[in-house]
Amino acid sequence: MLELIRIAEVKSRVIMLKEMAHELESSTSEVKRLVEEALSKRYLKRDGDILKLTRKGFEVLQRHRERYIHEKFTHRRGIRGRLARFFEGNIRDWRNHWRHRHGLDEKSINSLYRDIRMLNGRIEETMPLINLKPGEKGTVAFAFGGRGLVRRLTEMGLTPGTEVKILRSAPFHGPLEIEVRGSSLALGYGVASKVFVKKQARAD
């Protein structure tokens, strides 16, 4: 079901029904069942032969992206991270959680929501900038941090949709040298770990 919603979002919330079977690599009958279920739950709505993502469907996708970011990137690995997630339990009010548990202010939360709402593709395709190796390129998807960090990144030109190339990365969590908009910049490891990108395929 979520994959169906993702496809509708990737296609700018509008997709022809016949395209879904091809995208999902599934049988027509299975896709039809999923579509009918999504329609009954009001995740999608019909407009002739076109299916559109509803506000409710978009909220489901948004919550999925928030959960993924939270579980994958906001807690330490290992037992401490698992314990933190366990004691947090089932999060219902994400805005309040970001504010009180992770120290994001209102503007930072709004910026995060805007960026993940505009993300074209799957949240699972994103990774911290520090994961890229020298010579590799990525497209900025979103940043996770307070207002000061977001403002600083904006001033450096590291906004969603911007291409970034790793020039050098120092060992032992040292700074990264990156190329942005034709200029070379140095980013500390901590800041670079808060910038999330979609890795670009290498040109042959």
164 and 91 within one domain: yes
Write down the pLDDT at residue 21.
77
Q: Which residue is it, tokens 């959680």?
A: 97
CA distances to 108, 126, 148 from 12, rounded to whole Å, are: 25, 19, 31
Instruction: Say if 190 falls within a structural domain.
Output: yes
| Other CB atoms within 10 A of residue 128 CB | 17
85 and 36 within one domain: no
159 and 120 within one domain: yes
Instruction: Say if 60 falls within a structural domain.
Output: no
**Considering the chain, what is the average pLDDT of its residues?**
85
CB-based burial label for 108 (10 Å; 0-12, 13-18, 19+): buried
Instruction: Say if 120 falls within a structural domain.
Output: yes
Tell if the pTM clears 0.75, that is, is over it.
yes
- Give the domain CATH number at 39: 1.10.10
Q: Look at residue 154 and tell me whether its pLDDT is greater than 80.
A: yes
SS3 for 25-39, per residue? Answer: CCCHHHHHHHHHHHH
Rounded to the nearest 5 percent, the helix, strand and coil shares of the chain are: 50, 20, 30
- Tens digit of each residue's pLDDT (9 = 90 or more) over 104-136: 999 999 999 999 988 887 899 999 999 999 999
